[in-house]
């Protein structure tokens, strides 16, 4: 079974457990911090994935990092994973938890790529427009790509809207190639 499927199942279990305990939002906040910490620490990722490092050592590291700092449900859940030999999935499970949380809450991530940074007012206007179109809450991030020249590209899930000058030039080029 793929790492993604296993991590997704663990995340779903944690979502269900958090819902039962009415701690879903608090657990999500802690998971955001955990993902950021593990993502920024390659050594921690390596330790969790290394099968040679003993379980008690991994448990000690997780306790030192998270005890008293995150919801006890998360730490207990991670302890079970590590004890069952699934420490390599802690990071993937945390990421999948956030994705599952967003799905449960009807939150969609979107990205707008533009030639220069968009103002907060423009980002908010675009976020509101996207939210109205898809009838969900939207978390919008702005990425800068100078090669676009002007305009922007919006990605929401697997959909893309390209209003960039670069995109229009490419479309025009394909059109003229089709005439030959």
Can you state the angle between helices 3-20 and 90-105, rounded to 10 degrees?
A: 60
Q: Quote the pLDDT of residue 159.
A: 87
Q: Name the β-bridge partners of 111.
A: 141, 155
> 112 pairs with which residues across the strands?
142, 154
pLDDT band at 32 (very low <50, low <70, confident <90, very high): very high
- Fold topology of 3-103: Peroxidase; domain 1 (1.10.520)
Length of the chain in terms of residues written: 180
Query: Of the candidates 84, 37, 42, which has an alpha carbon nearest to the alpha carbon of residue 62?
Result: 37
Using alpha carbons only, how large is the chain's radius of gyration in Å?
A: 21
Does the pLDDT of residue 180 top 90, yes or no? no
pTM of the model: 0.76
Q: pLDDT (tens digit, 9 = 90+) per residue, 66-115?
A: 999 999 999 999 999 999 999 999 999 999 999 999 989 988 989 999 88
């Amino acid at each position: 079974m793929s790492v993604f499927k296993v991590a997704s199942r663990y995340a779903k279990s944690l979502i269900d457990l958090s819902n039962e305990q009415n701690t879903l939002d608090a657990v999500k906040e802690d998971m955001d911090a955990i993902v950021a910490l593990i993502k920024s620490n390659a050594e921690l990722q390596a330790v969790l994935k290394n099968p040679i490092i003993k379980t008690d050592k991994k448990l000690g590291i997780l306790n030192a990092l998270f005890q008293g700092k995150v919801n006890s449900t998360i730490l207990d859940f991670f302890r079970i994973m590590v004890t069952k030999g699934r420490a390599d999935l802690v990071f993937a499970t945390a990421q999948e938890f956030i994705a599952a949380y967003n799905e449960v809450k009807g939150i969609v991530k979107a990205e707008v790529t533009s030639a220069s940074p968009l103002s907060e007012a423009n980002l908010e206007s675009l976020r509101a427009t996207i939210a109205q179109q898809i009838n969900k809450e939207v978390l919008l991030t702005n990425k800068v790509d100078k090669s676009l020249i002007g305009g922007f590209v919006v990605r929401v899930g697997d959909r893309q809207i390209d209003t960039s000058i670069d995109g229009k030039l490419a479309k025009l080029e394909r059109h003229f190639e089709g005439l030959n």
